Structure 1
């Protein structure tokens, strides 16, 4: 009972902190939105994703890491908001590319307004992110501001490389993939902009550019990979009401997730042929029966359990790298929050 109580308290504390950050960041994002015309087809849609509560992990990482290394909230908030605005811009484009129907519990922009208007709104969010970042970096000395902008450039390129890799796998119908391929993909597509970049930027500002970034990359990669695998699993086993996105959407989209890669590696010839047939279909051709069949095979061949165990191994490595990454950080609530994130991800699986 004590273990269950401790896990519940951990989840409550972490999610309470994330909600607190989310409220502050949403207010600031919406305050940064331009007023003008056309409201119906640009400025209104631009406000939709920032208005919907998300995890707020990225700004929370930036704020906590920055304060742990000595920065003030005032120095960091604009940077954290720019990160979250760019994340929302990426989401709009991701939803278009994936043909997704749900985002944060409501229809996607492309489902509501059409692809063209959604892409315009996504571009607009990216522009506002740059405006917010420019204002925020005026607080910093020039060399430090240049370093922060360079970090954003690197993050954006790594993310695009990952997105292009995933799109290429689907367009070329690549099937002979394994865990190393998956980790390479999410290092670029997910980890860099979800965990590594927010941690690095916060630490750079807090330390005045003197922090050793290598350990932060190693911790951020392993923590981010485990977090992404957890999200992949929730897409397969979660409930749409709490998950906020289309359940089984990854299967409908033909995404090369770790459970799918494992299934392809262990299925017998008959079942592997079914998976190959499924992968060669377009999203519109993948019927609910076909999608459910692939999902059932993941249970039959232990792909869900394999993925959970794989992620738990990555989390253990992340825990080891944490102390190296934050050896120069100041003790306090921000460091405690960052330290609690690894057991938090673990607790959410229990």
Structure 2
């Protein structure tokens, strides 16, 4: 099996932007990460579990979480091969989160394909998500390249990441279940930080720095940067669902309205729009009519909520970039991570 260092060595020129970095390495990195998914001891284990999970993971998106883990490792002068098991662990956690999230949300599409619970059934989909979760800590524990002390620290990070993500998911699902329309922007930020920012930014960067032998200052600087940019990523993802184009249609366009999601734009509009009651009516009805979904977006535009969310995400990344530059030595990998922040908030432009 190729290693991350083999793949980097085969590239004649280092990527100059985060988007190019993803484009160059996402597919090859996916092959390395998916190699950590085992096979069963009975053919039907593969049929009903392992093969389906592998196919799902092969349709893996941009792989930004493992790739920023590798970049952080390199930014502190570490050997990126040491970050492979941790990168795989984070990606398999992401897979589990998506499978379970789609079931909870009764979603229909994921990355342009029918959701796993629709193709395989809810029971098997839950089981596959559980399998992906089981790979998270075991992947790191079984890594012969890492010292026991590093394994314990990385696994502790992964355990805390899992708890925080589940806490955020509880808020997201609970608010929708209970018809909560008293949610404030501050409440949303707590939910999104827990549900997304830790595992999509802070922990991949911190773990990359840990296995790369970074100083405590470097580890915490990268963690803080990932927390801010990971939150901006979630806000932008929510924006894409409402007003994006090609990328959004692959994610069940405007499904956040159908599912009654309390996004930053929604909670801001609920506080500021004169059409609050109409927006609540739409959010409560599991509406799928494109015209009605467009009406909800118009309400958010008119109340300034779309621009509010976009500006909030841009300010987060601007401050985070300046702070990181002051704390981490300049390098090509640092430039990639700075470019990451711009990519996170410019996907609509």
State the match for 1:47 in structure 2: 54
1:90 maps to 2:68: no
What are the superposed Cα offsets for residues 251-270 of structure 1, whole Å, 9 maximum, x if unpaired? 111000011112111121xx
Q: Is the 8 A contact 2:137 2:158 kept in 1?
A: no
State the match for 2:181 in structure 1: 175
> Relative to structure 2, which stretch is displaced further, 37-46 or 182-191?
37-46
Q: Is the 8 A contact 2:238 2:263 kept in 1?
A: yes
Query: Please, what TM-score do these two structures have when normalized by structure 2?
Result: 0.88
CA distance in 2, matches of 1:199, 1:213: 8
Q: Which of 294, 297, 313 lines up with 1:295 in the alignment? A: 297
State the match for 2:139 in structure 1: 132
Give the Å deviation of 1:235.
0.3
What are the superposed Cα offsets for residues 183-223 of structure 1, whole Å, 9 maximum, x if unpaired? 11111000000000001101111226644544333322221
Change (3 A) 1:227 1:191: same
CA distance in 2, matches of 1:110, 1:158: 24
State the match for 2:210 in structure 1: 204
CA distance in 2, matches of 1:165, 1:86: 19
Give the secondary structure class of the aligned counterpart of 1:32. Answer: coil
CA distance in 1, matches of 2:186, 2:344: 22
CA distance in 1, matches of 2:216, 2:299: 50
Q: Is the 8 A contact 1:101 1:108 kept in 2?
A: yes
CA distance in 1, matches of 2:270, 2:17: 39
State the match for 1:319 in structure 2: 321
State the match for 2:333 in structure 1: 334
Q: Is the 8 A contact 2:258 2:283 kept in 1?
A: no
Q: Is the 8 A contact 1:25 1:81 kept in 2?
A: no
> Relative to structure 2, which stretch is displaced further, 84-93 or 40-49?
40-49
Q: Is the 8 A contact 2:172 2:191 kept in 1?
A: yes
State the match for 1:32 in structure 2: 36
* Count of equivalent residues: 332
State the match for 1:8 in structure 2: none
Q: Within 5 Å, which residues of 2 pair with 1:154-303? A: 154-207=160-213, 210-211=216-217, 213-240=219-246, 244-268=250-274, 271-281=275-285, 283=286, 287-303=289-305
1:305 maps to 2:307: yes
State the match for 2:116 in structure 1: 109
CA distance in 2, matches of 1:337, 1:62: 12
Point out where structure 2 has 5 or more consecutive residues left out of the alignment.
1-14
Query: Please, what TM-score do these two structures have when normalized by structure 1?
Result: 0.88
CA distance in 2, matches of 1:35, 1:300: 53
CA distance in 1, matches of 2:214, 2:341: 27
State the match for 1:6 in structure 2: none
Give the secondary structure class of the aligned counterpart of 2:252. Answer: coil
CA distance in 1, matches of 2:288, 2:249: 22
Give the Å deviation of 1:114.
1.6
Q: Which of 146, 150, 153 lines up with 2:152 in the alignment? A: 146
Structure showing the higher helix proportion among its residues: 1
CA distance in 2, matches of 1:214, 1:333: 20
Q: Is the 8 A contact 1:240 1:247 kept in 2?
A: no
Give the Å deviation of 1:287.
4.8
CA distance in 2, matches of 1:131, 1:147: 14
CA distance in 1, matches of 2:104, 2:291: 23
